[in-house]
Amino acid sequence: MNKQKLYTTFSFFKTAAALSALCVLVLLLMEYLGHPGFLLPGLALISLGFIILSFRIVQLIYRLQLDRVHDTNQVESMQWIYQQFQPKVAFPPMRVIAGSPDFFKVIVEHCIELQPKVIVEAGSGVSSVVISEWLRSVGSDARHYALDHLEKYAKETEEKVVNSNSKILYAPLKNYNLSGSNWQWYDIEELANVDSIDLLIIDGPPEDIQKEARFPALPLLFEKLSDKAVIILDDTNRPDEQSIIKRWKATHQLKEKYLFTEKGTTVLYK
């Protein structure tokens, strides 16, 4: 796709160069035939067109180089994950809407370091299967809950989760009033008896639900976090997630660490 885009841009660039050469010839001819006044403005317009086009090409090349870095990171992250444990089930498709391997690597690294006893995920999917398989492979008795507001995806993920300590909870969005504003977030009724959350992973709900869609996670779950709790928020390259972090930090004492992953992952510590 990207390769195609690059070729299309280059062929567009060649066509633009040929057309511009033709225009310059016409302008010179007009000058020669006694129609002055067109040459300089014409040349200025053509130059401006080329500057814009060159800028666009530089942008595209930068994007492609960044994609290459991310692609390599995804392969290396999967390799690292398979070195840590052998999953018994095939992972569902990754990236795009689903999480990316470098995000899963961050999750597994924190599972290893933290040895969490209670894990809660906002937004189920591949990450739930990864966590469930890691817990199974190390024989952990930790409890793992993953919320999903869409029954279809909750069911799909549930089918992939074979560890009985992992629960995929269908949790339709519910209205909440938080500090005088209305928000929609997962119905957390099913988490009523869950507390001392050591690892909270926030990768949902999707951004099209509302502005700063993941903001309610902390106000609604902060009281349930353990003292050593770690929060992992994905998609923090987006302005919405950046302002969510600012709002959380304004009301809670949190330390923040940004990690260079495909979508930008931020780890927050109490």
Does 262 sit near ligand SAM (CB under 6 A)?
no
Complex with ligand SAM: residue 1 or 97, whichever CB lies closer: 97
Output the smallest distance, CB 51 to ligand SAM, in A. 39
Does 264 sit near ligand SAM (CB under 6 A)?
no
* Paired strand residues for 247: none
Complex with ligand SAM: residue 134 or 153, whichever CB lies closer: 153
Complex with ligand SAM: residue 20 or 236, whichever CB lies closer: 236
The answer to whether residues 99 and 127 touch, using CB atoms and an 8 Å cutoff, is yes
3-state DSSP call for residue 196? Answer: coil
Output the smallest distance, CB 122 to ligand SAM, in A. 8
* Cα–Cα distance list, 182 to 24, 106, 189, 203, 260 (Å): 61, 32, 18, 20, 32
262: burial class by Cβ within 10 Å (0-12, 13-18, 19+)? buried
Element (H, E) at 158: helix 151-160
Q: Judged by CB under 6 A, which stretch of 30-38, 44-52, 92-100, 171-179 contacts ligand SAM?
A: 92-100
Output the smallest distance, CB 204 to ligand SAM, in A. 4
Complex with ligand SAM: residue 208 or 227, whichever CB lies closer: 208
> Which residues within the stretch 140-169 sit at the binding site for ligand SAM (CB under 6 A)?
148-150, 153
User: Using CB under 6 A, which of 74, 127, 132, 140 touches ligand SAM?
Assistant: 127
Does 101 sit near ligand SAM (CB under 6 A)?
no
Output the smallest distance, CB 98 to ligand SAM, in A. 4
Does 97 sit near ligand SAM (CB under 6 A)?
yes
User: What are φ and ψ of residue 180, in 5° steps?
Assistant: 85, 0
Q: Edge-to-edge strands of the sheet including 166-170?
A: 166-170, 143-148, 118-122, 197-202, 225-233, 265-269, 255-259
Complex with ligand SAM: residue 42 or 99, whichever CB lies closer: 99
What does the angle CA 97 – CA 126 – CA 202 come to, to the nearest 5 degrees? 70
Residue whose beta carbon is closest to ligand SAM: 125
Complex with ligand SAM: residue 113 or 208, whichever CB lies closer: 208
The rounded distance, in Å, linking the Cα atoms of 227 and 47 is 62
> Which residues within the stretch 174-233 sit at the binding site for ligand SAM (CB under 6 A)?
203-204, 206
* Cα–Cα distance list, 118 to 85, 146, 249 (Å): 20, 11, 23
Complex with ligand SAM: residue 27 or 191, whichever CB lies closer: 191
- Helix axis angle for 2-32 and 39-84, nearest 10°, is 170
Please give the structure tokens belonging to residue 166: 């992992």
Q: Interface residues with ligand SAM (CB under 6 A)? A: 97-99, 123-127, 148-150, 153, 203-204, 206
